[in-house]
Structure 1
Amino acid sequence: MNWDDLKILLSLSRYGSTRKAAAQLGVSNTTVMRRLDGLEEALAGKLFDRTPDGFQATALAAELLPIAQGVEETLDEAERRLVGMDAQLTGGIKVSLPLWSAHPIYDALAKFSQQYPGIDLDISASDDHVDLARREADLAIRGMPKEKRPPKDIVGIKLMPISIGYYVHTNLLTEAAKGLRELTYIGSAPRHKQGELVTAGSLGLSGRHLFHSLMPRLMAVKHQLGVAVLPSMMAAEDPELLLLPNVPATHWGYIWVLHHKDLRQSARIRALFKHLSLLEKV
């Protein structure tokens, strides 16, 4: 048994599928299955039941998982500490952005790249939680509600406020005002409901569509499918999108830049963190 085998065990237990585990590990589905088969053969036992809902950990896997998690935490901490002691303005930085990010953030990253030619940026985009302790990213930019703060092991600073409102395409609003078309409401997935200001019913709108993430919801509004909650800075990039009349935007939270506390002595992490923090003053 080696660390590569334990990584397969951890990824399959977390994601429940070879496809997602392979994507997280940067290997092929075939490699995941080959290593899993080899590990099960070495242990003379079954680690996962293959079910229609994905891979389900067996009792044997449940016994091994705490050991694998302990090894992972030790290695992750060692890696963070090594990166944190790096005094060179060279190397790579893994940055996780939301699926949608404001233009000032991309402008800041472009200027940073010009200013520090020895530092390479490895950019990924997701609206999912990013585990900075496990170094899924060195630095993350995320929106958080105004009442929330980063966890105690995470260093963070607010970059800019986020306001949200109900937006509609100007053509759709005009048609509705003329009685040619009824405005309908585009709903969101349950985990995004906290971002909604008032209920669709109180707006006098009937719900029709459901879009489970931000970018599809933006495209739905742009293509005149209805009214939806959007960040104001996102909607402002399209002059044809307007706030629903008599429903003002409201302050929802802030965009934060975040990194694990163990990386605060890394010269390149510190340089990017400081560079992005200047957006706070813009």
Structure 2
Amino acid sequence: MDWDDMRIFLAVARGETLSAAGRRLGVDASTVGRRIARLEQALGANLFLKAPQGYELAPEGLRLLPHAEAAEIALTGAAEALRGQDELTGQFRIGAPDGCANYLLPQVCAKISEDHPGLEIQIVAQPRLFNLTRREADLAVGVSPPQTGRLTVQKLTDYRLHLAGSRDYLAAHPPIRGRADLKSHRMIGYIPDMIFDPELDYLAETGVERVALSSNAVSVQLQAIRAGAGLGIVHDFAIPFAPGVERVLTDEISLTRSFWLIRHADDRHSARMTRLAEALASGLRAEVARLEAKVSP
């Protein structure tokens, strides 16, 4: 058994299909299938069970998984030691909700790229939770700490959100002096059955029951607010990117949420991943503080 066999085994275990593993490895699915069959024959054990959704780990595969992951960590550590402590290179994938990915990560990753030109940084912006066990990302930013999985979690920073509307919309519609006045205004928010984390159910805290225009992406919601489609809850750190959008009822409706940095537990042994996590954490804290300071009190 060699490392290349383990690499293919891990790719199928994480991707759960031959095609997904092939895309990760840069080879065709049929090659992946042949390599897995050869590995199973060499070990005398079935590592995977074919299911309607793809490939599931068989009991023997589940027993092999931690050993394959340990080999991966050891080889990564050896490569890091040979490169030296100051050089960060290779591919680095960050998963984040689209608000963070759109308005914070580009600036933060620009600085990390400037400091470490050998890095290839990928930002995956999706309104859902990321599965780090399947290595959908190397690090993930979440809006709540996960309660299950072999993960390490650290709080990054709090951030604030307020009700907001465009100046044109506010000028053309009845004044807003209190929550009761919201009944005569169109509201913008998340599609209710696509809220993937209770922390994102912002409008529930305003007492609003009906959403006139909705999207699963906060960037789309903010553009709708800028276009004068109605009022919505906006991240304070996003307001500097939306000229003409103003906060309303700041004394009555003010929300605080938190970002959390989530890593696979095994990555705590990787000096490279620790340095990347530290750079990302410090950058996000500073960027939230910088952008929120631009918003008028």
TM more than 0.5: yes
1:213 equivalent in alignment to 2:211: no
CA 1:192–1:280 in 2, change beyond 3 Å: closer, same or farther?
closer
- CA shift, 1:48, in A, is 1.9
- Structure 2: stretches of 5+ with no match in the other structure: 176-183, 290-297
CA 1:67–1:214 in 2, change beyond 3 Å: closer, same or farther?
farther
1:55 equivalent in alignment to 2:54: yes
Structure-1 residue corresponding to 2:292 = none
Structure-2 residue corresponding to 1:94 = 92
- Structure 1: stretches of 5+ with no match in the other structure: none
Percent identity at matched positions?
A: 10
Tell me the alpha carbon deviations over residues 259-282 of structure 1, each in whole angstroms, 9 at most, x when there is no partner.
832124x4x953883586276466
1:229 equivalent in alignment to 2:233: yes
Structure-2 residue corresponding to 1:70 = 66
Determine the C-alpha separation between the residues in 1 that align with 2:225 and 2:114. Answer: 36
Determine the C-alpha separation between the residues in 2 that align with 1:132 and 1:83. Answer: 22
- CA shift, 1:173, in A, is 3.1
CA 1:222–1:88 in 2, change beyond 3 Å: closer, same or farther?
same
Q: 2:78 aligns with which of 69, 82, 91?
A: 82
Task: Tell me if structure 2 keeps the 8 A contact 1:144–1:256.
Answer: no
The 5 A counterparts of 1:168-247 are 168-177=165-174, 182-188=185-191, 189-199=194-204, 202-203=207-208, 206-245=210-249, 247=252
CA 1:18–1:126 in 2, change beyond 3 Å: closer, same or farther?
farther
Structure-2 residue corresponding to 1:277 = 282
Structure-2 residue corresponding to 1:120 = 119
Matched AA of 1:72: A
Matched AA of 1:238: A
- CA shift, 1:185, in A, is 3.5
* Greater RCO structure (CA 8 Å; 6+ sep): 1
Determine the C-alpha separation between the residues in 2 that align with 1:217 and 1:18. Answer: 37
TM-score by length of 1: 0.66
Tell me the alpha carbon deviations over residues 187-207 of structure 1, each in whole angstroms, 9 at most, x when there is no partner.
34232332334528823x522
The 5 A counterparts of 1:241-256 are 241-245=245-249, 247-254=252-259, 256=261
Return the structure number with greater helix share. Answer: 2
